[in-house]
Chain A
């Protein structure tokens, strides 16, 4: 049976000893959709992403990609299946160049044998050449087009975040999980990332966006799920979620004044 859902999260629960960081969370995402995932600090947003990418084991529940279960798979297998992700604290590879970061990402999908590369066997050469062309193409269309030769560690913070997103896109993912991609960015860089998110959605992929900057989430998300203390307390369109009683109490209400005062960055801590 064909399913219209790209990603299905069913009763996902993650417990660390006694702490239940994600508690029986279920939602579904369609292709071409941006799903905002919001909630106060410690709500379990990053842990949810960790569960979706097998960085932590599920205590209960199931995750399906295009109708097929991926729970129990290893992190790299899930990535190859099409779920890419960035981390709350970007982990670029600082000691190699921007282009080499991209190369590493491209070759991660299909890694040639080290021995074949060292010996320069034709298969490895072809693989390397293709990766080189792809890296150049991806960089050419990116904001980092003039920084391919720079050490990634020398990039300003915002560009490191961008690099991590481009690196995730090199996987040609069907689902992209972004964990606070706007934090630490200038307004201009944030605009670029939001544009990128719209572009990714336009290409028929799904984006899950964890972000504290609420105005941005409201602007870009098609639907929003709200987590609090590990539980999903609301789900709906941005307008619905803003009206939701639970959400106002747990999340919006508490910081609404602050938000109005601080403008765009108000919801970030």
Chain B
């Protein structure tokens, strides 16, 4: 009976419905402040779902996700304020543009300098932010005003946002549980073994990166229209770090984790903002970055799979008692056979 329930809860469509229904139900009973917070958490969750896919399966960190978020936001902003296009069109354009940018970055970074991808994404995020500040189209430091809403009220936006999250969750769940999802896991587990089977790990990772960029752009587009105003201070490195922290706190490879991670970190955001403003107004931004940096380091050391996934795996290990050890020795690269191949890759 409970197994059946669990099975139903794991169905991608059921999960997607829950992801839409629960925040919407909450939104209908709480006040406007919480509706707006829930909406924001939804946007972050959408980015984090994509980041989860990329970090959890390609095993790479993206430190430039704010750039894709920004591309989505500015696409909606520019399309509507400069060209009078409907925000829907800007949203789609932003997603396409982000996909193209991710593809290009992936070709450059994943092929030419596989091990520097994190740096490449960091550079991308910074370049994107500078572009947002400098380009005439983006309105420079003063940003873009008067971006039209999707003719939606606050609850409508909440529904739109979590509807998008539901779609993102449905999409990634289906992907991860498919045979191709097994291939993603193969890439994460051993790129050498995957290549020997005939798949190009770089292509697979690049595709996961593109998916993550598209989801981030979608979230950014919704954000621009919801806020009605954007400027470059939003799409900074700090946001990228925030998003990585959300992914890592929630746990990689888990949609529920993405929601919890986004909500948890956003809650801490608000607390820190409040505490920082009353304790040390001038340095609250630096305080936040410092705390997040430390938190990231601690989590990556103790729960490299992320908090939720890590704790979940631990309880599963306890239930099934035992089989975790051989699992790690095969996965690890300390053994001699792996060494030869590892050396081969480096050279």
* A residues adjacent to B (C-beta < 8 A): 16, 46-47, 50, 53, 55-57, 74-76, 79-80, 84-85, 87-96, 100-101, 103-109, 111-115, 117-120, 124, 128, 131-132, 135, 151, 153-154, 157, 160, 167-168, 170-171, 179
**Which of chain B's residues has its CB closest to A50's CB?**
B344
Of the A-B pairs whose beta carbons lie under 8 Å apart in the complex, a sample of 23, sorted by A's number, is: A55-B345, A57-B347, A75-B192, A88-B340, A89-B336, A91-B190, A95-B185, A101-B186, A104-B194, A108-B183, A108-B194, A108-B197, A111-B183, A114-B175, A114-B208, A115-B207, A115-B211, A117-B181, A118-B174, A135-B179, A153-B330, A154-B327, A171-B198
**Which of chain B's residues has its CB closest to A128's CB?**
B179
A100 contacts B185, C-beta separation under 8 Å: yes
Picked from B210, B323, B330, B347, the residue with its CB within 8 Å of the CB of A92 is B330
Contacting A at CB under 8 A, from B74-115, are none
- Beyond known contacts A93-B193, A151-B323, A154-B323: 14 more, CB 8 A cutoff: A55-B344, A74-B200, A87-B192, A87-B341, A91-B190, A91-B338, A92-B193, A93-B190, A108-B183, A108-B197, A113-B207, A114-B184, A115-B211, A128-B179
Chain B residues with CB under 8 A of A103? 179, 182-183
How many residues in B have their beta carbons less than 8 Å from beta carbons of A? 47
Chain A residues with CB under 8 A of B331? 94-95, 153
- Listed from nearest, the 3 A-B pairs whose CB atoms lie closest are A89-B337, A153-B327, A108-B199
User: In this assembly, does B178 line the interface, its C-beta being within 8 Å of a C-beta of chain A?
Assistant: yes
Chain A residues with CB under 8 A of B126? none
Chain B residues with CB under 8 A of A57? 347
B189 contacts A111, C-beta separation under 8 Å: no
With most chain A CB atoms within 10 A of its CB, the pick from B174, B178, B194 is B178
- How many angstroms from the CA of A75 to the CA of B183 in the assembled complex? 16
- How many angstroms from the CA of A57 to the CA of B345 in the assembled complex? 10
A117 contacts B175, C-beta separation under 8 Å: yes
B195 contacts A107, C-beta separation under 8 Å: no
**Which of chain A's residues has its CB closest to B340's CB?**
A46
User: In this assembly, does B196 line the interface, its C-beta being within 8 Å of a C-beta of chain A?
Assistant: yes
Picked from A94, A131, A179, the residue with its CB within 8 Å of the CB of B179 is A131
Given A93-B185, A95-B185, the answer on whether A76 and B195 have CB atoms closer than 8 Å is yes
Chain A residues with CB under 8 A of B345? 55
A87 contacts B337, C-beta separation under 8 Å: yes
- How many angstroms from the CA of A56 to the CA of B190 in the assembled complex? 17
Contacting A at CB under 8 A, from B312-336, are 323, 326-328, 330-331, 335-336
**Which of chain B's residues has its CB closest to A153's CB?**
B327
With most chain B CB atoms within 10 A of its CB, the pick from A80, A84, A105 is A105
A117 contacts B180, C-beta separation under 8 Å: yes
Chain B residues with CB under 8 A of A95? 185, 189, 327, 331
B182 contacts A120, C-beta separation under 8 Å: no
With most chain B CB atoms within 10 A of its CB, the pick from A80, A108, A120 is A108
**Chain A: minimal CB distance from B316 (Å):** 11
Chain A residues with CB under 8 A of B204? 111, 114
**Which of chain B's residues has its CB closest to A150's CB?**
B323
- How many angstroms from the CA of A56 to the CA of B341 in the assembled complex? 8
Chain A residues with CB under 8 A of B195? 74-76, 79
A111 contacts B203, C-beta separation under 8 Å: yes
Given A16-B347, A76-B198, A151-B327, the answer on whether A93 and B179 have CB atoms closer than 8 Å is no
Chain A residues with CB under 8 A of B178? 117, 128
- How many angstroms from the CA of A88 to the CA of B190 in the assembled complex? 14
**Chain A: minimal CB distance from B277 (Å):** 41
User: In this assembly, does B161 line the interface, its C-beta being within 8 Å of a C-beta of chain A?
Assistant: no
User: In this assembly, does B39 line the interface, its C-beta being within 8 Å of a C-beta of chain A?
Assistant: no
**Chain B: minimal CB distance from A129 (Å):** 9
B190 contacts A80, C-beta separation under 8 Å: no
**Which of chain B's residues has its CB closest to A155's CB?**
B326
Picked from B185, B337, B344, the residue with its CB within 8 Å of the CB of A104 is B185
Chain B residues with CB under 8 A of A96? 182, 185-186
Given A46-B340, A91-B330, the answer on whether A118 and B171 have CB atoms closer than 8 Å is yes
